[in-house]
Amino acid sequence: MVQAPLSIEFSLDATQDEAMEREFQMLSGVDDDAIGQWLKLAKAKGDTQDTDRVLLQLIIELHRKIDRLEQKIDHATPNRIELSTHAMIDSIGFEDFVLTKALLEPAQNYYGRVTMPVYPQRDVAIFFTAIDAQHAHITRMHERDENDWNSYVTARERIMIRQLKGR
């Protein structure tokens, strides 16, 4: 486990199973925005072969940011279910995490959203089971999110190693 300053919102998953599952699928990127759908189609056709991939990704992210700004101006908010608890994560591992405060009921299943500091920054939907009042095991996460989570854990491990070497 490595220190990681992340925030999480969560609720017991027994109360709104269908709504939580729908949001989980929505946050996975399966229901991408129009520009995301266009990019997938262009890649499938091979239209992006001669394009600088990094530049293309940056332009797409700028387009998404403009879309989000338009939503804020129009006071449109993304459809997210209301989760009962907001907490801070103290440390993370590849399949689990520890909260800073004892807020979990052992052996209970939860649904949550973790705000990940990856590019592009986004909320990652997870299902998890409480091991004890602070420690949780992640039981379900989308593949793309899992890759970003694991990369973040690895980056935090590198930071910790550099700090230990500096002592």
Mean pLDDT of the chain: 86
- The set of residues, in sequence order, having a beta carbon less than 8 Å from that of 143 and lying 6+ positions away, is none
Cα–Cα distance measured from residue 85 to residue 72, given in angstroms and rounded to the nearest whole number: 24
Return the minimum-mean-pLDDT range out of 4-8, 63-67, 105-109, 145-149.
63-67
Of 52, 73, 94, which residue sits at a domain end?
A: 73
The boundaries of the domain holding residue 61 are 34-73
Whether residue 119 is found in the same domain as residue 159 = yes
Whether residue 102 is found in the same domain as residue 155 = yes
Whether residue 138 is found in the same domain as residue 88 = yes
Q: What is the pLDDT of residue 112?
A: 95
Confidence band, pLDDT 50/70/90 cuts, at residue 29: low
Whether residue 47 is found in the same domain as residue 128 = no
Q: What is the pLDDT of residue 16?
A: 60
Q: Is the pLDDT of residue 76 over 80?
A: no
* 136: exposed, middle or buried (Cβ count in 10 Å: 0-12, 13-18, 19+): buried
Confidence band, pLDDT 50/70/90 cuts, at residue 167: low
Q: What is the pLDDT of residue 32?
A: 52
Confidence band, pLDDT 50/70/90 cuts, at residue 15: low
Whether residue 90 is found in the same domain as residue 111 = yes
Whether residue 56 is found in the same domain as residue 127 = no
Which CATH number covers residue 9?
A: 2.40.10.220
Greater confidence (22 vs 39) lies with 22
Whether residue 87 is found in the same domain as residue 126 = yes
Whether residue 16 is found in the same domain as residue 61 = no
First to last CA, the chain: 20
Whether residue 50 is found in the same domain as residue 115 = no
Whether residue 116 is found in the same domain as residue 136 = yes
Whether residue 19 is found in the same domain as residue 54 = no
Whether residue 113 is found in the same domain as residue 149 = yes
Greater confidence (122 vs 98) lies with 98
Of 13, 43, 73, which residue sits at a domain end?
A: 73
Q: What is the pLDDT of residue 106?
A: 96
User: Percentage of residues in the chain with pLDDT exceeding 70?
Assistant: 90
Q: Is the pLDDT of residue 57 over 70?
A: yes
Q: What is the pLDDT of residue 68?
A: 74
The domain tally of the chain equals: 2
Q: Say if strands 122-130 and 85-92 run parallel, antiparallel, or are unpaired.
A: unpaired
Place of tokens 């699928």: 25
Of 19, 43, 73, which residue sits at a domain end?
A: 73
Q: What is the pLDDT of residue 31?
A: 46
Region 93-107 average pLDDT: 97
